[in-house]
Amino acid sequence: MNGSIARRFAVVGIVVPSLVTGLALVAQLIALPHVPDPVAVHWSGTGGPDGSGPAWSYLVLTLLFGAGFPLWLGLSALPRVRAGSRGWSFRFLSAFSLGFAVFGAVTWTWSLLMQMGLESWQDAPSVVPSLIVGGLLGMIAGLIGFAVQPKTVTVFEELPSAHVDVASGERVMWVGVAKAGKGSVITISAAVVLLFAGAVACWAAQQYPVMWLLLGLTVLIGVLGLTMSEADVRVDATGVEVRGPAGWPKSRIALEDIASAQAIKAEALGSFGGWGWRRVPGALGVILRNGEALKVDRKQGHSLVVTVDDAATAAALVNALAARRGV
């Protein structure tokens, strides 16, 4: 079963997208001598072409988008799937890879091929049909790619457990701070700085509507970035609580609702589709980095997963407190 899930993942997300991209490249290469130089590469909102560029830019775009995503999946996600990691987002990502490759291949190949035999790029017909057909085919391909993969329950790799003794009269608590990885801190900071710089540039150019849009985005990404930077985790006799900076967002599970806890290996992309506070089927993830995480299972309902160091101790305390409560 392991082999077949990984194989389907690879076929949908990597093999077929690469083949489609390869076919598109061959078709574009054959068309290359027959298209005007330069070719139309950009169309105005009303339908006619309004920008030109070299014909090879189509091949570069097709290659970058059609091969980049499968390559990235092959390098980052496939080894995890092979190792037994399961999650809805693997299914989603591979289907997306397929749909995106089909969309790009159809649209860009069509846009180039329809210019064969033209005198000048300005004679190029509208790009709209290629976008519509490409978009539709891409969606259909993505849906098929999603459907042919089995529905998987997210399975987390468990880490070695620890043991914490709790005597009957003892009061014990565990506190930890979940911190973001360096990469995401740099990425978010860079995005905030760039957006703000863009807003300042728009202010200088007196483009006020765009300035407000960029300022709004700066605040939005800034706030999201803050929730993705740090979270306090607390385990005590009342239960487990995770709190973002300044107390928000917050999630807590009362001790009486807890079935058990484990230390697991969490993958932002594979199991949660990304970073931050994320609700996925079966779990709420507070995923600030990859790696060691505390997973708390409710007796009924979704689990809570938070990436924090020393998760094994935290999990052991949760289990010890739950066991003591049960006695």
Partner 1 sequence: MLLRIDAASGEPLFAQVAASVRAQIAKGELREGDRLPPARDVASGLGVNLHTVLHAYQVLREEGLVDLRRGRGAVVTGAATAVSQLQRDIAELGKRAAALGMAPSTVVELLRASM
Return d(Cα 51, Cα 49) in angstroms, integer. Answer: 6
Judged by beta carbon, residue 8 or residue 179, the one nearer partner 1 is 179
Query: Which stretch, 10-18, 67-75, 102-110, 235-243, contacts partner 1 (CB under 8 A)?
Result: 235-243
Judged by beta carbon, residue 80 or residue 243, the one nearer partner 1 is 243
Instruction: Restricting to residues 292-311, name those near partner 1 by CB under 8 A.
Output: 310
Query: Which stretch, 3-11, 78-86, 170-178, 264-272, contacts partner 1 (CB under 8 A)?
Result: 170-178
Query: Which stretch, 83-91, 101-109, 152-160, 163-171, contacts partner 1 (CB under 8 A)?
Result: 163-171
- In the complex, the smallest distance separating the C-beta of residue 291 from partner 1, rounded to whole angstroms, is 18
Q: Is 319 in the site for partner 1 (CB under 8 A)?
A: no
Q: Is 110 in the site for partner 1 (CB under 8 A)?
A: no
Q: Which of 3, 33, 160, 169 binds partner 1 (CB under 8 A)?
A: 169
Pair 118, 124: CB distance under 8 Å = yes
Residue 179 C-alpha from the chain's centroid: 19
Q: Is 154 in the site for partner 1 (CB under 8 A)?
A: no
- Interior angle at CA 69, CA 132 and CA 53, nearest 5: 60
Bridge partners, 283 (sequence order): 280, 303
**How many residues sit in the footprint of partner 1 (CB under 8 A)?**
19
Q: Which of 228, 317, 318, 321 binds partner 1 (CB under 8 A)?
A: 317
- In the complex, the smallest distance separating the C-beta of residue 313 from partner 1, rounded to whole angstroms, is 6
Query: 283, 286, 271, 269: which is closest to 230 by C-alpha?
Result: 286
- Interior angle at CA 93, CA 213 and CA 143, nearest 5: 100
Query: Would you put residue 112 in left (φ > 0), alpha (ψ -120 to 50) or beta?
Result: alpha
Helix (H) or strand (E) holding 284: strand 283-287
CA atoms within 13 A on the CB side of 214: 18
At residue 315, what is the residue type? A
Q: Is 254 in the site for partner 1 (CB under 8 A)?
A: no
Q: Which residues contact 84 (CB under 8 A, 6 or more apart)?
A: 2, 155, 157
- In the complex, the smallest distance separating the C-beta of residue 316 from partner 1, rounded to whole angstroms, is 9
Q: Which of 128, 143, 155, 175 binds partner 1 (CB under 8 A)?
A: 175
Distances (CA, A) of 273 to 31, 101, 290: 39, 19, 12
Judged by beta carbon, residue 157 or residue 232, the one nearer partner 1 is 232
Q: Tokens 């911190």 correspond to what residue? A: 179
Q: Which of 138, 176, 225, 285 binds partner 1 (CB under 8 A)?
A: 176
Pair 73, 94: CB distance under 8 Å = yes
Query: 31, 26, 104: which is closest to 62 by C-alpha?
Result: 104
Q: Is 174 in the site for partner 1 (CB under 8 A)?
A: yes
Q: Is 232 in the site for partner 1 (CB under 8 A)?
A: yes
Pair 58, 112: CB distance under 8 Å = yes
- In the complex, the smallest distance separating the C-beta of residue 221 from partner 1, rounded to whole angstroms, is 26
Judged by beta carbon, residue 224 or residue 237, the one nearer partner 1 is 237
Judged by beta carbon, residue 207 or residue 238, the one nearer partner 1 is 238
Query: Which stretch, 52-60, 102-110, 130-138, 167-175, contacts partner 1 (CB under 8 A)?
Result: 167-175
In the complex, the residues that contact partner 1 under the rule CB under 8 A are 164, 167, 169-177, 232, 234, 236-238, 310, 313, 317
